[in-house]
Structure 1
Amino acid sequence: MKVLAMAVVALALSGTAARAADPRYPNWPCTQAKVPEISLAAVWAGPALDDAETKWKNDAKITALVAKLSARKTPMDEAEKSVKDFLAASSTDKTNNAKLLFAGLFDTLNAQRSQVMNGLERVSRKQREAADKIREETIQLQALQGATPRDETRVEALSNELIWKTRIFEDRNKVVRFVCEVPTTIDQRLFALGRVIQQELD
């Protein structure tokens, strides 16, 4: 009975995730609404980026700084200080460098978001397949347990398999819930760094 209870819990979690998903994106497993891309207007009120959107990759200093600022392991206070120090040293090219820097951050962080979100949807598809398999094997186990004569070897083997699959399913669900926060964290990082860049231009 414990095995069946575990399987029921796993399937309940699966059902909750499915109901919470945005119907426009059937594979999206998060309670947060899926926003495929960050809108430039939502995070930047500075000067028009123009050709900075493509030219930032040609500047070695900008690309190195973008890589550092985009890394989630870089603390936000350190990232904001790096932006201020870089722009303070820019003097004559301050506006241009600010545009290049933000264009790089916008491009890079949007790409990070897409990668995370695509990964979440891949895992969601696998979880749906796993839930179907658990459901099928739960029905098989119930049939084996009610059979006469009862094949204890097969009952035990299928029980152990269900325990293992259910635990994996539950562990993946925990990871998904954690990773669902990442796109929002990326949004917040881009917004905060964009704000610092704009403040340095004022």
Structure 2
Amino acid sequence: MSKMRMLITAALLLAQPTFVHAEDYSDPTWPCVQRKVEHLSLGIMWPYPVPDHELSEDLAPAAERFVDTLILRRVPLEEVEIITAEFAQTNSQLTQDDYTLIFQAIFDKIDRHRKKLIDGIGRYSLSQIDLAARIDSARVDMDTEMAKQDPDFDKVDALEEQLDWDQRIYRDRAQSLLYVCETPVILEKRAYAIAQTLSHHVPE
């Protein structure tokens, strides 16, 4: 087992045992149990082909407002259905291509936001690895000092105080990471739910 892998495994054990079920620690920027998927697939969520043109100038402003509303996580999915139904009724002339372009805009914005979150998780993970290494080093220093014939207890006390603080920070961060790791999945589910809602209004 590599030193990096050992550090990650030991550090995760300090926090939440749930994390040790992740199958692969070869990527130190991904500490989550959830499988890392950097980008979503439009084709899996949306069954219609993407046209090679853009929305009409008349429709574009309203569609942009509609898109920006639907991607807001504070807007419940139940409300998304109501907003979509109102938009479809107001714009009864919408075609399959129009709905496809609208969903593509929604998908692209959610996917970009999701990718930024994944990158942030990577940076967060690396900082945790650095902190775990510092914790490991402090423990070694404490053991080394205590093994001496005449230990410097002031140094040991300082190391113990710093170790306690670092472990507390690590555990707090790990707790936050449990929530953060769920966020890309939540965004993926939201994109899929919006796709399902929009597809119900696509004309035959």
Q: Same fold (TM over 0.5)?
A: yes
Q: How far, CA to CA, are the matches of 2:45 and 2:26 in structure 1? A: 24
Q: Measure how far apart 1:83 and its partner are.
A: 1.4
1:14-29 matches, within 5 Å, as 17=19, 20=22, 22=24, 25-29=27-31
Q: Measure how far apart 1:184 and its partner are.
A: 0.9
Q: Measure how far apart 1:92 and its partner are.
A: 1.6
Which amino acid counterpart does residue 44 of structure 2 have in structure 1? Answer: A
Q: How far, CA to CA, are the matches of 1:125 and 1:21 in structure 2? A: 18
CA shift digits 1:122-142 (9 cap, x unpaired): 111111111111101111012
Q: Tell me the equivalent position of 1:38.
A: 40
User: Unpaired runs of 5+ in structure 2?
Assistant: 1-8
Which amino acid counterpart does residue 64 of structure 1 have in structure 2? Answer: R
User: Unpaired runs of 5+ in structure 1?
Assistant: 1-7
User: Contact 1:145/1:155 (CA < 8 Å) preserved in 2?
Assistant: yes
User: Contact 1:20/1:30 (CA < 8 Å) preserved in 2?
Assistant: yes
Q: Measure how far apart 1:24 and its partner are.
A: 6.3
Q: How far, CA to CA, are the matches of 1:86 and 1:24 in structure 2? A: 46
Which amino acid counterpart does residue 199 of structure 1 have in structure 2? Answer: H
Q: Measure how far apart 1:14 and its partner are.
A: 7.1
SS of structure 2 residue aligned to 1:104: helix
Identical positions, percent: 26
Distance 1:9 1:135, change over 3 A: same
Q: How far, CA to CA, are the matches of 1:149 and 1:171 in structure 2? A: 36
1:167-186 matches, within 5 Å, as 167-186=168-187
Name whichever structure is richer in helix by fraction: 1
Q: Measure how far apart 1:23 and its partner are.
A: 5.4
Q: How far, CA to CA, are the matches of 1:185 and 1:98 in structure 2? A: 23
SS of structure 2 residue aligned to 1:180: helix
Q: Tell me the equivalent position of 1:3.
A: none
User: Contact 2:42/2:104 (CA < 8 Å) preserved in 1?
Assistant: no
1:44-193 matches, within 5 Å, as 44-45=46-47, 47-51=48-52, 59-193=60-194
Q: How far, CA to CA, are the matches of 1:111 and 1:24 in structure 2? A: 25
User: Contact 2:50/2:101 (CA < 8 Å) preserved in 1?
Assistant: yes
Which amino acid counterpart does residue 43 of structure 1 have in structure 2? Answer: M
Q: Tell me the equivalent position of 1:4.
A: none
Deviates more, 1:108-117 or 1:14-23: 14-23
Which amino acid counterpart does residue 40 of structure 1 have in structure 2? Answer: L
Which amino acid counterpart does residue 186 of structure 1 have in structure 2? Answer: L
RMSD: 2.7
Distance 1:31 1:109, change over 3 A: same
Q: Measure how far apart 1:153 and its partner are.
A: 1.4
